[in-house]
């Protein structure tokens, strides 16, 4: 494969920004370039320094657009692509009214294949190059998801939801079948190409203690795998959970009892937490995943970013489609900004764009592979147009600084602001 050089304004983060004036937290080249060789970043920086390194490279000129690492979505539901934007429910009736009927269709491999492909193409069109997805309880949904990812050469994580109670026949498994299916899916997919399997008990309400034990066994047998589930999204869910697990000290204690906490464990929502729960998450390195568009849409509550940070809890950010209302990490930042504003907290634009790139990569333990554009990492890149719409173009005329431009992108931007998406150096969208 011949070398390729992408030209444009190039931004990448070196560490978490301390604040909006923390210029040492990122590297930015106004006339920048990225040299891609064999799907990886070979060099990155000023165009004048990069261009001579490969005189015969194909040069793709994206000026005046802004290039940065492809976005990372740490919590999303592939089988909910056809229920995003369904009216009028809170979490538990949302699941029963919309989610479970939609997910039951994924026993059909043809349906699973069609939706998985469309889902991944939507992610790419929104600039997201890596996601951690829940599939349905059917192994066919996981095969469809990872097959579609393999065809597109994407670094994707995901797994089959384990759920053996409080759900209808068409989506319910058993403790043993969920263990057996997960084992064979791990064997088939984990580490194949860019695929990583995530052990996925949906949440405490839909798993019996027997199934939780099976999840514990899976985690013990595969300590290198990620684990994902939901935690403390709304009050009714918490009450119901505690009625099902009466010995638990709190919601998190259910997962703690079954050995599901740790630095590879992603807990979606994590809104209504006690001091004991945040302390336990911090002590185990567990990750609290902020899903702002979903939390607003379902009226679930307001994530406490500052409180979690002060307690030392690791944090990630995600769309949670289809409870979330957009595939766009830009829309997600916009709603995240508003959620935190309602708590009297501030999300500055440097930290915001660090979060959806390097920050989420660090949360997943993948910052040596994606999310940084450091030399040697995989060349998953998004190209952003800050004047993509008439409203953005008008506002962009008065922009003077990079943080101002980033804030414009997150406040007014969506998939129209994605000028191009590259996966392993190959242009795949827009
Ligand atoms: Zn979710």
- Tell me the pLDDT tens digit for each residue of 364-385: 999 999 999 999 999 999 999 9
pLDDT digits (tens, 9 = 90+) for 350-360: 999 999 999 99
Q: Which helix (H) or strand (E) holds 219?
A: helix 209-221
Neighbours of ion ligand 1 (CB under 5 A): 268, 320
Q: How far is the CA of 230 from the centre of ligand 1 (A)?
A: 6
Q: How far is the CA of 348 from the centre of ligand 1 (A)?
A: 25
Kindly report the average pLDDT of the chain as a whole number. 97
Looking at residue 41, what is its pLDDT?
98
Distance CA 413, CA 129 (A): 17
Q: How far is the CA of 77 from the centre of ligand 1 (A)?
A: 6
**What is the pTM assigned to this prediction?**
0.98
pLDDT digits (tens, 9 = 90+) for 377-414: 999 999 999 999 999 999 999 999 999 999 999 999 99
Q: How far is the CA of 381 from the centre of ligand 1 (A)?
A: 26
Paired tokens of 159 = 């797994």
* Residues 246-270, mean pLDDT to the nearest whole number: 98
Confirm if 44 and 53 have CB atoms less than 8 A apart: no
- Paired sense of beta strands 287-290 and 314-317, if any: parallel
pLDDT digits (tens, 9 = 90+) for 157-199: 999 999 999 999 999 999 999 999 999 999 999 999 999 999 9
Q: Note if the bond before 416 is cis, omega within 30 degrees.
A: no
Q: Residue 259: helix, strand or coil by DSSP?
A: coil
Q: Which helix (H) or strand (E) holds 284?
A: helix 275-284
In this predicted structure, the answer to whether residue 430 has a pLDDT above a threshold of 80 is no
Q: How far is the CA of 76 from the centre of ligand 1 (A)?
A: 6
* Residues 263-283, mean pLDDT to the nearest whole number: 98
pLDDT digits (tens, 9 = 90+) for 123-150: 999 999 999 999 999 999 999 999 999 9
Distance CA 429, CA 418 (A): 9
Q: How confident is the model at residue 89 (pLDDT cuts 50, 70, 90)?
A: confident
Q: How confident is the model at residue 348 (pLDDT cuts 50, 70, 90)?
A: very high
Beta bridge partners of 200: 161
Distance CA 188, CA 42 (A): 31
Q: How far is the CA of 404 from the centre of ligand 1 (A)?
A: 31
Q: How far is the CA of 393 from the centre of ligand 1 (A)?
A: 34
Cα distances from 231 to residues 74, 165, 265, in angstroms, run 14, 17, 11
Q: How far is the CA of 185 from the centre of ligand 1 (A)?
A: 21
Sequence-separated (6 or more) residues with CB below 8 Å from residue 394: none
Looking at residue 152, what is its pLDDT?
98
Distance CA 258, CA 203 (A): 12
* Residues 333-353, mean pLDDT to the nearest whole number: 97
Looking at residue 88, what is its pLDDT?
81
Q: How far is the CA of 325 from the centre of ligand 1 (A)?
A: 12
Q: How far is the CA of 49 from the centre of ligand 1 (A)?
A: 44
pLDDT digits (tens, 9 = 90+) for 287-335: 999 999 999 999 999 999 999 999 999 999 999 999 999 999 999 999 9
Q: Residue 86: helix, strand or coil by DSSP?
A: coil
Q: How far is the CA of 293 from the centre of ligand 1 (A)?
A: 11
């Amino acid at each position: 494969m011949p070398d390729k050089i992408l030209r444009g304004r190039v931004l990448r983060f070196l560490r978490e920004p301390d604040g909006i004036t923390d210029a040492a937290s990122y590297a930015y080249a106004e006339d920048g370039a990225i040299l891609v060789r064999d799907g990886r970043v070979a060099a990155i920086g000023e165009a004048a320094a990069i261009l001579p390194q490969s005189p015969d490279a194909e040069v793709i000129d994206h000026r005046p657009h802004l290039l940065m690492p492809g976005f990372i979505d740490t919590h999303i539901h592939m089988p909910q692509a056809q229920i995003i934007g369904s009216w009028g429910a809170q979490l538990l009736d949302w699941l029963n009214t919309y989610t479970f009927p939609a997910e039951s269709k994924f026993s059909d491999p043809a349906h699973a294949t069609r939706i998985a492909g469309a889902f991944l193409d939507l992610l790419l069109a929104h600039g997201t190059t890596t996601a951690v997805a829940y599939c349905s309880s059917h192994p066919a949904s996981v095969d469809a998801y990872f097959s579609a990812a393999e065809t597109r050469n994407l670094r994707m994580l995901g797994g089959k939801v384990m759920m053996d109670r409080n759900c209808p026949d068409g989506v319910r498994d058993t403790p043993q079948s969920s263990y057996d299916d997960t084992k064979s899916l791990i064997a088939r997919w984990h580490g194949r190409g860019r695929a990583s399997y995530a052990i996925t008990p949906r949440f405490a309400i839909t798993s019996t203690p027997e199934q939780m034990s099976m999840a514990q066994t899976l985690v013990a047998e595969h300590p290198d795998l990620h684990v994902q589930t939901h935690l403390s999204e709304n009050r009714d869910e918490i009450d119901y959970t505690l009625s099902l697990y009466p010995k638990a000290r709190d919601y998190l204690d259910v997962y703690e009892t079954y050995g599901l906490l740790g630095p590879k464990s992603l807990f979606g929502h994590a809104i209504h937490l006690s001091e004991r729960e945040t302390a336990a998450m911090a002590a185990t390195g567990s990750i609290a995943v902020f899903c702002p568009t979903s939390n607003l849409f379902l009226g679930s509550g307001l994530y406490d970013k500052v409180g979690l940070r002060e307690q030392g809890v690791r944090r990630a950010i995600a769309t949670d489609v289809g409870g979330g209302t957009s595939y766009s990490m830009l829309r997600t930042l916009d709603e995240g900004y508003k959620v935190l504003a309602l708590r009297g907290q501030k999300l500055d634009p440097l930290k915001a764009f660090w979060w959806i790139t390097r920050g989420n990569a660090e949360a997943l333990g993948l910052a040596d592979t994606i999310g940084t554009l450091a030399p040697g990492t995989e060349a998953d890149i998004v190209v952003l147009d800050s004047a993509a719409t008439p409203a953005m173009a008008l506002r962009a005329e008065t922009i003077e600084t990079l943080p101002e431009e980033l804030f414009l992108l997150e406040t007014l931007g969506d998939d129209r602001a994605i000028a191009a998406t590259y996966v392993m150096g190959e242009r795949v969208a827009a």
